[in-house]
Structure 1
Amino acid sequence: MKKVTQGKVLLIHTWGIGDLILLTPVLQAVKTLYPLLELEILFFPKSAAIPVTDAPFISKIHFTGWKANLLLPTLF
């Protein structure tokens, strides 16, 4: 299997900030190991993005509502 060192990863976060706070050091480590990798996060509740709003290791933050038909226009 070929090791991928660049590209985009979209993380989908569906609820509160607790999980994201615990995940933040992992995201920092991934970005350190793979600096060309673009980390993007999709949030359903906008307030859950607070821990990473200004994080230099996150390339882009997306927001959407709970309705599935709102998801694709948010990403593209």
Structure 2
Amino acid sequence: MEEYRFDGFRFDGVTSMLYHHHGIGSGFSGDYAEYFGLQVDEDSLVYLMLANHILHTLNKDCITIAEVSHMFSSEIH
């Protein structure tokens, strides 16, 4: 972040990372059971949590943005 003067990181396609179904054919109604459970890829979740923690440890003002997959976001009503 210092060398290239970035102020944040964007994680693209997070839905594809976080869920074994990759967001294909799935939509969330708001029920928490849809967000958590066996469909969650725990390795991806840990990666995003660790990356976010490290980035904010290195620079407390760092911005992290998670972008949902296009396929998934088009199914939200």
The higher relative CO (CA closer than 8 Å, separation ≥ 6) is in 2
Shared topology, TM-score over 0.5? no
* Structure showing the higher strand proportion among its residues: 1
